[in-house]
Structure 1
Amino acid sequence: MEKLFKPVLLFVFILSPLWGIAQYSEYEWKERDSWMDVAGIMELAGIEKGTAVADIGCHEGYLSIHLARKVGESGKVYAVDVRQDRLDKLKENLKERNLKNVKVILGDYDNPKLKENSLDAVVIMDTYHEMRDYMEILKHVKKALKPDGRILILEKFKHYTRNKSREHQTDAHTLASKYVKKELEDSGFKITKEVKDFGKWNNESDKTIWILVGVKA
């Protein structure tokens, strides 16, 4: 799971002490494409040619590589993670695909180390629930975004944790959108889009994907 910069660039960012747990290794990416609506994520995050975007919690680069191809040579992807071994594998994956528009960043658990006012978008996919210093991270993300920049948070919700506390849910590696919505608003973001059912994680009926999109208030 994972963290991001400039010329109309793309930033996908995911952070947490356990950033590697919910992402998949490269050999599983093809199967993941069958149930993950990557094109829909790109549209909601406003990703296009020339975008500067950060992928926080990038793991081995599943989303970062999709983003790199979408933004093209005129865009930029900042792939952030807290584990060097994951980033080393990402570098190999980028080299194999001859992708040169991705900057790999080793972030801290409370700081994705992104340049201020440089990003059009930040994506935190299946990583936010692992973040212990989430308010501090959101503060850094807000600073890194341009005035009209977007943050997109995607999580899978495990139905059996419904009505449980935030701590109970994060211990189960899941999180309800109601908690994140309040945290985004308290951090100075305005929610512009909420998708309550973005499909089923890994086609498992008890794991519903939700998305929140916000901009600086």
Structure 2
Amino acid sequence: MIIRSTCSFLLLLLFALPSTLWGQYTEADWKERDKWMKTEFLLDLMGVEQGNKVADIGCHEGYLSMHLSKKVAESGRVYAVDVRSDRLENLRENAHKRSLGNIVTILGDYDDPKLPERELDMVFIMDTYHEMDAHKKILQHVKSALKPGGKVMVLEKLKDWVRGKSRETQVASHSLSADYVREELKQAGFTIISEIEDHGKWERENDKQMWVIVAQKP
């Protein structure tokens, strides 16, 4: 009887959790995310246009990939990369529902997004860079995949309680400072061309500040 009551309580607790804890990347949240992440502004900042070849690293179920697909149109291509095949399957279903045929899904490795060499105009790494233990290797792969003059955008959130802490402490809280990423991009041979120190609040939560860095391959 005690076991049954405990199981029932845990199930109720699970379904009572905010959707952002276990569904922030699902299709149901996409329209709201357009607003708080200012997605159209970010795409305009990068200059995404018809015919571009772009990559979305850490694509999850395809939120950004769908936006990019529409922007680059039929003459362009979107490489959607994730390390989980179930997410890529969901992305393919989402793309099929929208009749988007210019998205190529890639099951990447944790240290290699497996992108084509010297083919891409832009790479987007949105709320994913902090998960990359092998960030130095990945940045080199990104650099190799970009054409000369190609750009990479990194968007992250910095949580108030880890501000000024070590990189390890920030990463453990699924957060990261722009200071660390800026230096890592420079060390990888990129030139910083644009920064937004405060892009708003991640999921409208006051203790999670978004920042954006755009860097360019020489």
Q: Same fold (TM over 0.5)?
A: yes
Give the conservation status (yes or no) of the 8 Å contact 1:46–1:121: no
Question: Hey, what's the Cα distance between the residues in 2 that align with 1:51 and 1:211?
Answer: 21
**Letter of the structure 1 residue corresponding to residue 141 of structure 2:** H
Question: Hey, what's the Cα distance between the residues in 2 that align with 1:56 and 1:143?
Answer: 14
SS at match of 1:34: helix
Question: Hey, what's the Cα distance between the residues in 2 that align with 1:22 and 1:41?
Answer: 23
Question: Hey, what's the Cα distance between the residues in 2 that align with 1:93 and 1:129?
Answer: 26
SS at match of 2:215: strand
Question: Hey, what's the Cα distance between the residues in 1 that align with 2:53 and 2:62?
Answer: 16
The aligned residue for residue 201 of structure 1 is 202
**Letter of the structure 1 residue corresponding to residue 61 of structure 2:** E
Give the conservation status (yes or no) of the 8 Å contact 2:27–2:61: yes
C-alpha distance 21-171 of structure 1, shift in aligned 2 (>3 A)? farther
Deviation, structure 1 residue 137: 0.1
Question: Hey, what's the Cα distance between the residues in 1 that align with 2:162 and 2:136?
Answer: 23
Q: Report Cα offsets for 1:55-80 as digits up to 9, x if no partner.
A: 00000000000110111111110000
The aligned residue for residue 17 of structure 2 is none
Q: Percent identity?
A: 56
C-alpha distance 213-21 of structure 1, shift in aligned 2 (>3 A)? farther
Please tell me whether residue 81 in structure 1 is matched to residue 82 in structure 2.
yes
Question: Hey, what's the Cα distance between the residues in 1 that align with 2:145 and 2:92?
Answer: 23
Give the conservation status (yes or no) of the 8 Å contact 1:22–1:126: no
The aligned residue for residue 161 of structure 1 is 162
Q: Which has the larger radius of gyration?
A: 2
**Letter of the structure 2 residue corresponding to residue 59 of structure 1:** H
Deviation, structure 1 residue 22: 8.5
Give the conservation status (yes or no) of the 8 Å contact 1:197–1:208: yes
Question: How many residues end up aligned between the 2 structures?
Answer: 198
**Letter of the structure 1 residue corresponding to residue 197 of structure 2:** K
- Higher relative contact order (Cα pairs below 8 Å, separated by 6+ residues): 1
Post-superposition, which runs of at least 4 consecutive aligned residues in structure 1 deviate over 3 A? 20-23
Deviation, structure 1 residue 23: 4.9
Give the conservation status (yes or no) of the 8 Å contact 2:149–2:217: yes
Question: Hey, what's the Cα distance between the residues in 2 that align with 1:80 and 1:120?
Answer: 16
The aligned residue for residue 62 of structure 2 is 61
Question: Hey, what's the Cα distance between the residues in 2 that align with 1:91 and 1:173?
Answer: 27
C-alpha distance 204-62 of structure 1, shift in aligned 2 (>3 A)? same
- Structure 2 gap ranges (5+): 1-20
Question: 1:27-66 maps to which residues of 2 (within 5 A)?
Answer: 27-66=28-67
Q: Report Cα offsets for 1:139-190 as digits up to 9, x if no partner.
A: 0000000001001000011111111000000000000000000000000001
Deviation, structure 1 residue 32: 1.5
Question: Hey, what's the Cα distance between the residues in 2 that align with 1:123 and 1:22?
Answer: 21
The aligned residue for residue 15 of structure 2 is none
The aligned residue for residue 212 of structure 2 is 211
C-alpha distance 189-83 of structure 1, shift in aligned 2 (>3 A)? same
C-alpha distance 135-22 of structure 1, shift in aligned 2 (>3 A)? farther
**Letter of the structure 1 residue corresponding to residue 32 of structure 2:** E
TM-score normalised to structure 1 length: 0.88
Question: Hey, what's the Cα distance between the residues in 2 that align with 1:146 and 1:81?
Answer: 22
Deviation, structure 1 residue 200: 1.0
TM-score normalised to structure 2 length: 0.88
Question: 1:1-217 maps to which residues of 2 (within 5 A)?
Answer: 23-217=24-218
Give the conservation status (yes or no) of the 8 Å contact 2:34–2:40: no
- What is the root-mean-square deviation of aligned Cα atoms in Å? 1.4
SS at match of 2:37: coil
